[in-house]
Structure 1
Amino acid sequence: MLVDGMALLFRAYYATATSGYIRRTKSGIPTNAIYGFIRYFWDAVQKFDPSHVICCWDLGGSTFRGQQFSAYKGNRPEAPDDLVPQFSIILDVMDSMGVPNISAEGYEADDCIGTLATQFSKDMDVMILSGDHDLLQLVSDRTTVIIMKKGHGNYKVYTPQSLYEEKQLHPRQIIDVKALMGDASDNYPGVRGIGEKTAHKLVQEYGSVEGILDHLDQLSKSVRTKIETDLDMLHLSRKLAEIHCSVPVACGLEICELSLDEKTVADKFEELEMKSLCNLLGVVV
């Protein structure tokens, strides 16, 4: 199981922060995101029973996508003050559980996940845990993407078959759809004036961006004009949407086998004043 660490951490933070209550240690260190992260993480481990686990993270700072398009993710607010100190603490917590933390400078967690999924799926089945639908482009016969839905313990599992049943798209076509419609959360526009519905229809009918461009004469004058006007942005948006699967990261199977050292875990949870999580994990204090 490859875990999208940031997706889980942000979800865990906002699940409690919106109520106005932030869990803290006696010394005032905020821990609500860490507590929620472990609950989400362990629920998925129990439900899907992976033999090996790796957690992938964004490093912050510039990425190759930001160099290609300066406004990439430029609309995102700074992380909340109470979340910032929890970024480093959660890495220590995962270390204590024997789960490797993987990241790569200049790349995003998605790229690390894509690279590791490509490597491991040659020999074993891979599960990706996230809330990010961008990762659906990685679905394959040996890679399932588990999307966390609203509500604790609620998941949608995507295989090539279930993805096609729901969206009438093959995994690689997710990239083409995003190239056309853009991505508001990542702050790139795609083709201005083409929304999700039209993007899906075009990709379903013509197969890919190349297929659409080969049949421009068959499109309505309005759609054709929009694509021709924004052709450069269409190609750039496609590059931004595609997850890179050849990032310089690796992790040996023996390192990521899931096996808790109960004392190490118990000591870490006690340090963070989260002893109740020991019961959740079945760890003897």
Structure 2
Amino acid sequence: MVDEKHEKLLLIDGFNLLSRCYFATAYGKELHQLQRNSKGLFINGLRAKIQKLLQLVRIHTPTHLAIAWDVKRNETLRKQKYQDYKGTRNELPEPLIQQYETAVSLFNSLGIPQFTVPKYEADDIIGTFVQKWRDEREGECIIYSNDRDLLQLLCGKTSQLIAAKKGETKYTLTHFQSDYGIEPSQWVDVKALLGDKSDNIPGVAGVGEKAALPLIQQYGNVEGIYHKVDELDEKYKRYFKKLQLGREMAFLSKDLCKIYTDVPDILELDFDQIQIKVDKSKLLDELTELEINVRVG
């Protein structure tokens, strides 16, 4: 049995990884050029995703693993709060949707822990796992995702693996504090002012990167800014009217940006249920069936 101090939880943002793998392998190609198996199933993104998952397990040797998936965009709590949430996103390509369905089926067959919770997004599932691990376990927690919204979850034992052209960066609490001069919990306040074009979160119109971070560094959070809005430091006077007009959007945006850490289905889970117990021969059989050739072990 592994000593709790040496336990390690790896959390995968399932669709973030699959979509990056899909678009990387589909770039510049027509539909008919995408890799399929003899049954006609698309496997270009799935093959790359499985390859990456196996590599992550080899390199980071986690004892526990969970893959988090999103629900449909129009079924989330955030969409209920703000109808325009993620309203500017395009429809997903059919081959990507098909490979998501194949991935879910494959992981079910292999007993790889994966989670979809009605009304919650993958970020919320990850956030709840992080909080639960923080409260109950002593070991390290690693998040694998390029979604920088997740930086709000960093702590002394939780880091985020972020992919870049030069390779992956294991982004820690120390990195975050050095880069931004605030605590991870304040990241949601920066995002509340900036908004998020990708998620169509409004933020405060006219308050950009030059002002958002310094405002939070000085006033602590959105609430602190509006408590002092009539006596802001002289250097922020040009933002006074913008902040006044954007008050409602600032608080709405903060609510939308904040990751839930209390998803009931995840809180009730026993960590023993997500220990890594993959049968290598079964994995090989399943991959052979799908005609996916990757290094296993």
State the TM-score, normalizing by the size of structure 1. Answer: 0.93
Partner amino acid, structure 1, of 2:237: K
The answer to which structure has the higher helix fraction is 2
Amino acid at match of 1:148: A
1:56–1:101 CA contact under 8 A, matched in 2: yes
Q: Cα distance, 1:234 vs. partner?
A: 0.4
Kept after mapping to 2: 8 A contact 1:163/1:171: yes
CA distance in 2, matches of 1:36, 1:175: 32
User: In structure 1, what is the Cα distance between the partners aligned to 2:259 and 2:157?
Assistant: 17
Is 1:26 aligned with 2:38? yes
1:239 maps to which of 234, 255, 261:
255
Is 1:173–1:207's contact at 8 Å kept on the other side of the alignment?
Answer: yes
1:221-260 → structure 2 map (5 Å cutoff): 221-250=237-266, 251-260=269-278
What letter is aligned with 1:232? E
Matches within 5 A, 1:101-250: 101-122=114-135, 123-124=137-138, 125-150=140-165, 154-216=167-229, 217-219=231-233, 220-250=236-266
* Aligned-partner SS, 1:156: strand
**Contact 1:102/1:249 (<8 A) preserved:** no
In structure 1, C-alpha distance between the alignment counterparts of 2:95 and 2:134, rounded to whole Å: 37
Supply the distance in 2 between the matched residues of 1:97 and 1:184 (Cα, whole angstroms).
Answer: 37
Q: For 2:23 and 2:182, locate their aligned partners in 1 and report how far apart those are by CA, in whole Å.
A: 31
Distance 2:165 2:111 in 1: 28
- Quote the offset at 1:271 in angstroms: 1.2
Give, in angstroms, the shift of residue 12 of structure 1: 0.4
Letter in 1 for 2:283: V
Instruction: State whether structure 2 residue 67 is matched by structure 1 residue 69.
Output: no
Q: Residue 249 of structure 1 aligns to a residue in which SS?
A: helix
Question: Which letter does structure 2 place at the counterpart of 1:252?
Answer: D
Task: Quote the Cα distance in structure 1 between the aligned partners of 2:165 and 2:13.
Answer: 16
SS in 2 for 1:70: coil
Q: Is the 8 A contact 1:31 1:86 kept in 2?
A: yes
Contact 1:2 1:113 in 2 (8 A): yes
Count, aligned residues: 277
> What is the CA–CA distance in structure 1 between the aligned matches of 2:96 and 2:154, rounded to whole Å?
31
1: distance between equivalents of 2:176 and 2:59? 21
Structure 2: distance between partners of 1:263 and 1:148: 30
**Is structure 2 residue 65 aligned with structure 1 residue 53?**
yes
- TM-superposed CA distance for 1:257, in Å, is 1.4
1:145-202, Cα deviation, whole Å (9 max, x unpaired): 2222236xx2222222111112222101110000001000000110001112211111
2:52 to 40, 50, 59: 40
Alpha-carbon shift at residue 269 of structure 1 (Å): 0.3
Tell whether 2:17 aligns with 1:8. Answer: yes
Q: CA deviation at 1:267?
A: 1.6
- State the shift of 1:246 in Å: 0.5
Tell me if structure 1 keeps the 8 A contact 2:284–2:296.
no
**Structure 1 residue 263 and structure 2 residue 281: aligned?**
yes
Secondary structure at 2:75's aligned position in 1? coil
* CA displacement at 1:59 relative to structure 2: 1.7
- C-alpha RMSD over aligned residues: 1.5
Letter of the structure 1 residue corresponding to residue 282 of structure 2: T
Q: Deviations over 1:93-141 (max 9, x none)?
A: 2234432111110110000111111112221321111110000000012
Alpha-carbon distance in 1 for matches of 2:65, 2:265: 15
Q: Percent identity?
A: 35
- TM-score, normalised to structure 2, is 0.89
Hey, what's the Cα distance between the residues in 1 that align with 2:163 and 2:102?
A: 23
Given that 2:36 and 2:43 are in contact with CA atoms closer than 8 Å, whether structure 1 keeps it comes out as yes
